[in-house]
Amino acid sequence: MYSVSVTAPVNIATLKYWGKRDSVLNLPTNSSISVTLSQDDLKTTTTVSCSDSESYSVDQLYLNGKLESLESLRSQKCLGELRKYRSEMEAKDGSLPRISEWPLRIVSVNNFPTAAGLASSAAGYAAMVYGIARLYRLPLDRSELSKIARQGSGSACRSLYGGFVAWEMGSKKDGTDSRAVQIADVGHWPGIRAAILVVSASKKEVPSTGGMQLTVGSSDLFEYRVKNVVPPRYKEMEQSIIKKNFEKFAELTMRDSNSFHAVCLDSYPPIFYMNDTSKRIVKLINELNKSQGRNVAAYTFDAGPNAVIYYEEKDEHLVLGVLNEFFGHLPGWDKKRSINYSLPDRFPID
């Protein structure tokens, strides 16, 4: 038996991926940018093993202790590509054990709510692809692996890197140039912090894949976003990261979250990911920024009501202080890490 354990972090997009131009290869309609969160807080830990013993009769995936299907096209594509690379290596070098033919067992554990709009599929597919690549000793760099992880879940390609990461949409039909690249590593801007406000830990009402297909097929605003909004914003956001300009970075992050939720609302029928609590969080952050005469914090929401708040370490006292003032009395609130696992859907902010 061969076995390896790896971890992969969660990434939260600040310029959102929303829309596929090819749903089989999982190619996006726009490039996106994300920040990879620290693995101390949110991560997937995956142990991958393979064996020719009888107890390994078929490929198996255990997610948080539960046996899950590996039958989906996305999982099959990831496993298929990784196996193909390994069997090519085995064909070239006869001394290598032919483990590409052995069934795989993938045991994955998230330390955060699965499918609650907290990018669990991103960390999950990134860990699975990275783990199998390590098990098979594939000589592929992270960018190559990101192309495989992308086929599992688009956002997963960005979790192959730490720090500030871009997913370049690429233009080739076969997707060979649609991959993640690192804009800057975490050491470039070490003062950036993220607080996660878990408004609801239940499963997404509209999964991302179906949601984006509905938006692509029905929103009038969508084309405008993809053609006119995202391309200049991508360049501006990249520059704001390179220059460590938090004021700009925060503005672009909040604008892009708004734009993404606007195209969701413009879909037919509309998709609502943010709830009343999410809207109150937006209001609170805007009030806080206004009171300081500068952006000290930026909110962003993915395909769910949970908020991620970015801020700089120098403003931690202020930002966490305000968040604690409004949410600190609620049960489950962790003052130190500002992660609240039981924020109710309604609370008085205004």
- Judged by the rule CB under 6 A, the positions of this chain that interact with ligand DP6 are 13, 16-18, 26, 32, 121, 153-155, 208-209, 302-303
Tell me whether residue 302 or residue 315 sits nearer to ligand DP6 (CB atom). 302
Tell me whether residue 121 or residue 182 sits nearer to ligand DP6 (CB atom). 121
Tell me whether residue 49 or residue 159 sits nearer to ligand DP6 (CB atom). 159
Q: In the bound complex, what is the minimum distance in angstroms from residue 152's beta carbon to ligand DP6? A: 7
Using left for φ > 0, alpha for ψ between -120 and 50, and beta otherwise, residue 62 falls in beta
AA identity, residue 230: V
Q: In the bound complex, what is the minimum distance in angstroms from residue 3's beta carbon to ligand DP6? A: 27
| Contact in structure between 32 and 166 (CB atoms under 8 Å) | yes
Tell me whether residue 16 or residue 86 sits nearer to ligand DP6 (CB atom). 16
AA identity, residue 330: L
Give the span between the Cα atoms of 23 and 13, in whole angstroms: 20
Q: How many CA atoms lie within 13 A of 325 on its CB side?
A: 10
Q: In the bound complex, what is the minimum distance in angstroms from residue 69's beta carbon to ligand DP6? A: 16
Backbone angles phi, psi at 89, to 5 degrees: -65, -40
Q: In the bound complex, what is the minimum distance in angstroms from residue 307's beta carbon to ligand DP6? A: 13
Q: In the bound complex, what is the minimum distance in angstroms from residue 310's beta carbon to ligand DP6? A: 14
| Contact in structure between 125 and 152 (CB atoms under 8 Å) | yes
Tell me whether residue 264 or residue 323 sits nearer to ligand DP6 (CB atom). 264
AA identity, residue 66: K
- Tell me which residue of 63, 58, 68 sits closest to 46, measured CA to CA: 63
Q: In the bound complex, what is the minimum distance in angstroms from residue 107's beta carbon to ligand DP6? A: 21
Q: In the bound complex, what is the minimum distance in angstroms from residue 13's beta carbon to ligand DP6? A: 3
- Tell me which residue of 144, 24, 27 sits closest to 82, measured CA to CA: 144
Output the residue with the shortest Cβ distance to ligand DP6. 154
Q: In the bound complex, what is the minimum distance in angstroms from residue 114's beta carbon to ligand DP6? A: 12
Q: Which residue has the tokens 């924020």?
A: 343
Q: In the bound complex, what is the minimum distance in angstroms from residue 349's beta carbon to ligand DP6? A: 24
Burial label for 201, CB within 10 Å (0-12, 13-18, 19+), is middle
Tell me whether residue 154 or residue 163 sits nearer to ligand DP6 (CB atom). 154
Tell me whether residue 53 or residue 72 sits nearer to ligand DP6 (CB atom). 72
What SS3 class is residue 245?
coil
Helix (H) or strand (E) holding 300: strand 297-301
Give the span between the Cα atoms of 72 and 79, in whole angstroms: 11
- Tell me which residue of 106, 125, 104, 105 sits closest to 114, measured CA to CA: 125
Helix (H) or strand (E) holding 335: none
Tell me whether residue 102 or residue 301 sits nearer to ligand DP6 (CB atom). 301
Tell me whether residue 87 or residue 258 sits nearer to ligand DP6 (CB atom). 258
- Tell me which residue of 191, 204, 259 sits closest to 230, measured CA to CA: 259
Give the span between the Cα atoms of 235 and 27, in whole angstroms: 20
